[in-house]
Structure 1
Amino acid sequence: MCSPTGESTPHEAPKRADDGSPKEPFPWHIGVYDAHCHPTDTMTSVSSIKDMQARLLTIMATRGQDQDLVASVAEQHGVTDLKELRETPSGTPKKVVPAFGWHPWFSHQLYDDSKEPQVTDVQAHKTKHYSAVLSPTPEPDFIASLPDPIPLSKFLQETRQRLLAHPNALVGEIGVDKAFRLPWGKVDESSRNGDLTPGGREGRMLSPHHVKMPHQVEVLKAQLRLAGELGRPVSLHGVQAHGVLFDTLASLWKGHEKEVVSRKKQKMIAKGVSEDFSSSDESDDSEYGLGEPKVKKPYKPKPFPPRACLHSFSGPPQMLKQYLDPKIPVKCYFSFSTAVNLGTAGGEAKFADVIRACPDGQVLVESDLHVAGDDMDGYLEDIARRICEVKGWGLEEGMRRIRRNYEEFLFG
């Protein structure tokens, strides 16, 4: 759900020219994890989840209309723990991890009720709110077409309850977006596609109005703090606002930076203490590249999430590298999709450089599609093959690495 125009991503199977030689069979048996998708935007496709070759789908909520839908799909198809994920074959119906969050495209629909706790005149408040958070200032008719704004505290309370009900759930999709513009008017109910969950663009023309960045940041920070409180990873959206996204995260972890131990000091410590300074890339090479599940330490709430995935990361390599500073207390992962990263000539041109800059232990794959089934499998296979090609990995080796990366992202 990363197109700056607000359209859902296409769901035709990816088509790529090749030299006509037979492709190496794709190792679905290893377990392929989709780090970011939106099948609840097309609820009629959800029944196909159980038949997909992918082992796991991380399903994002984005707005008011889909929060309960994501929860309902997770109740039916949710994965309970790492053991179940590893030991159950891909044919199981249990293959969903939910994510609950409010997407920046819809951030205008929330208002900070800590600044205005009592609303006595709903219409006057609606006009005041949308006039303050949208640019250019909208006309009365446009404001009238928008839903009544929702208190931010109400959304956060409901999200906390959903996260507690789903112990493996992420916070997402959340973030910032400078390119997105709101669509004009309301959807014509007489002609709308009933297969689609309400609340999306649904073919409407785009208006000139966008959500002011300070408001997007305010909504983002509130959700990041919630993730930090509960120790949940987050799935982040950033379009034409990579600096703003990084600065927002950095403002929350300020004062919590990690001490960086120099190589010289590591050697000095190693002489007297058996201490492991190895990176996550040096994990064991047992079957499927997986070790025993880690024993989790008690989590201490923080003002920032423990782990973050920058989904369909579209920034340049130098922007990626700033998230890899060893002082940062948030471990950052980067997921890539055919739909976004290879959907334009510009994305295709920088793809290989970005993949090469991404550490082996922090790369993930995703579809970012709004419909489950064969097309979603096709997009996952396509982006995985491309990443393995750039990295110089065999398919089995690459999918073992990516599987291990996702498990570390999700479970820590």
Structure 2
Amino acid sequence: MEDKTTKDGIPFPWELGVFDAHCHPTDTMTSISDIPHMKATALTVMSTRGEDQELVDEVAKQLGDYYHGSKHGNGKIVPCFGWHPWFAHQIRVEGDGEDTTINAIESKTRHYRNVLTGTMGTEAENIAFFKTLPTPKPLSTLLSETKTRLLAHPNALVGEIGLDKAFRLPMPWQEDELDSRNSGLTPGSREGRKLSPYRVVIAHQKALLKAQLQLAGELRRAVSVHSVQGHGVVLECFQELWRGYERKVESKRRRKKMVDQERNEEEEDDDDDDKEKEVDATPLPYPPRICMHSYSGFPEAVKQLLHSSVPSDVYFSFSTVINFTGPTVNRVKSTLEALPDDRILIESDLHTAGKQMDDLLEDVVRTVCHVKGWSLEDGTKLLAENWRRFVFG
């Protein structure tokens, strides 16, 4: 087996700090004990559904939150709380077809009929499928729970949230499947089940995404966004929140003056390690920082997201498994080549912690450095700086 520490004859500089911008280790709770022994400096740990919100909270409390520049020890976890579009159907938007005159079963059936598109064939089969799904949680309850968790972790993010036009709900578990199910995996995900014909209506996904983006803006937290075949709708959602808050497009001379001023201020801060930066807590109607996770969109869309009038700072994260395998590799490389150096992040997007996660992080750092023409040392430093700026502002 290849020695990862000296790939291409160049040792990997873990000591410079390597940060996973998006991962799911709570999907395999038995791997959590490996996190303290990982080479990665910190993990940005996503939640996605009802079964893992509390797990992410517990892991962060157990292993410690990561704090930038802490002099009093540090954890390895940046917890993230959000509801993934794959589970958007499990959330009920109050007032959306709600009828208080019908019983709970009828209300549940009506909800799923409204938010799902597709059919099993017969009406009886459709109703039978709806009955296997959980009772939907009110959106107001989800937002309240998420806000409580975010406030308990001052550096927590909102994620994973987003849109997915391709996803279909899995079929219910069959008895023979349950017998062979991996009990070490956190329930709620597909786990290889056959797919049903049902998809979540995009308008419903968008309503859930927008509400969570607004919560992130209220608390001035960064967000991690999932987008599959929905980049246009995601951009539309962002633009609705940005409207009226666009940045004034300054002249090149003015921009240079502002950059120089910010650089001088940063140098002054560096000269005084004990001085803490004041954090602006004024609520916003949009998230201040956005990560487009495992980004696979076209370079043209990047230009829109990075337009100088956009009030959010948008970052783009890349993973080996999603971005550098399969038919979109060349497009991803073109996008990566065109991206500003300071807007690039790396991730594993893996469901289990430990050596495999470290290996994936090393692979994607090396790949990004190769595509961008960076030295391994300079690239690792730059990616670490980008992650800190994305998470902490």
Please give the TM-score of this superposition, normalised by the length of structure 1: 0.86
Secondary structure of the 1:308 match is: strand
Residue 291 of structure 1, CA deviation: 10
Q: 1:319 to 1:68 in 2, by over 3 A?
A: same
Q: Does 1:109 align with 2:90?
A: yes
Q: How does 1:388-403 map onto structure 2 within 5 Å?
A: 388-403=369-384
Secondary structure of the 1:173 match is: strand
Distance in 2 between residues matched to 1:78 and 1:279, nearest whole Å: 35
Corresponding position of 2:182: 193
User: Is there any run of 5+ residues in structure 1 with no aligned partner, and where?
Assistant: 1-12
The one-letter code matched in structure 1 to 2:373 is G
Conserved 8 A contact 1:187-1:204 = no
Q: Does 1:95 align with 2:81?
A: no
Corresponding position of 1:71: 57
Distance in 1 between residues matched to 2:331 and 2:321, nearest whole Å: 15
Corresponding position of 1:249: 238
Offset from partner CA, 1:283-324 (integer Å, 9 cap, x none): 989xxx999687234221111100000000011111112111
Distance in 1 between residues matched to 2:133 and 2:370, nearest whole Å: 46
Corresponding position of 1:375: 356
Q: How does 1:297-316 map onto structure 2 within 5 Å?
A: 297-316=279-298
Conserved 8 A contact 2:66-2:76 = no
Q: Does 1:160 align with 2:147?
A: yes
The one-letter code matched in structure 2 to 1:183 is P
Distance in 1 between residues matched to 2:371 and 2:263, nearest whole Å: 17
The one-letter code matched in structure 2 to 1:249 is F
Conserved 8 A contact 2:22-2:348 = yes
Q: 1:290 to 1:187 in 2, by over 3 A?
A: farther
Secondary structure of the 2:227 match is: strand
Conserved 8 A contact 1:37-1:57 = yes
Q: How does 1:6-405 map onto structure 2 within 5 Å?
A: 22-84=8-70, 94-115=75-96, 116=98, 118=100, 121-137=103-119, 139-186=126-173, 188=175, 189-263=178-252, 266=254, 275-278=257-260, 295-344=277-326, 346-405=327-386
Query: Which region of structure 1 is more displaced relative to structure 2, 133-142 or 116-125?
Result: 116-125
Q: 1:192 to 1:281 in 2, by over 3 A?
A: farther
The one-letter code matched in structure 2 to 1:152 is L
Offset from partner CA, 1:301-356 (integer Å, 9 cap, x none): 11110000000001111111211101000000011000100131x22222321111
Larger relative helix fraction: 2
Q: 1:42 to 1:134 in 2, by over 3 A?
A: same
User: Is there any run of 5+ residues in structure 2 with no aligned partner, and where?
Assistant: 121-125
Corresponding position of 2:389: 408
Residue 34 of structure 1, CA deviation: 0.0
Q: 1:58 to 1:290 in 2, by over 3 A?
A: farther
Distance in 1 between residues matched to 2:99 and 2:221, nearest whole Å: 28
Residue 79 of structure 1, CA deviation: 2.5
The one-letter code matched in structure 2 to 1:67 is Q
Corresponding position of 2:123: none
Q: 1:204 to 1:55 in 2, by over 3 A?
A: same
Please give the TM-score of this superposition, normalised by the length of structure 2: 0.90
Give the percent of matched residue pairs that are identical in Structure 1 and Structure 2.
47
Corresponding position of 1:9: none
Offset from partner CA, 1:245-283 (integer Å, 9 cap, x none): 11111111101101111125x28xx8xxxx433598999
Offset from partner CA, 1:151-210 (integer Å, 9 cap, x none): 111111100000000111000000000111111113643332110000010111011111
Secondary structure of the 1:100 match is: coil
The one-letter code matched in structure 2 to 1:372 is A
Residue 14 of structure 1, CA deviation: 11
Residue 110 of structure 1, CA deviation: 0.3
Distance in 2 between residues matched to 1:99 and 1:21, nearest whole Å: 32
Residue 147 of structure 1, CA deviation: 1.1
Secondary structure of the 2:69 match is: helix
Aligned residues: 382
Distance in 1 between residues matched to 2:271 and 2:158, nearest whole Å: 25
Q: 1:83 to 1:21 in 2, by over 3 A?
A: closer
Conserved 8 A contact 2:42-2:66 = no
Conserved 8 A contact 2:119-2:197 = no
Distance in 1 between residues matched to 2:169 and 2:356, nearest whole Å: 28
Distance in 1 between residues matched to 2:231 and 2:199, nearest whole Å: 17
Conserved 8 A contact 2:206-2:237 = yes
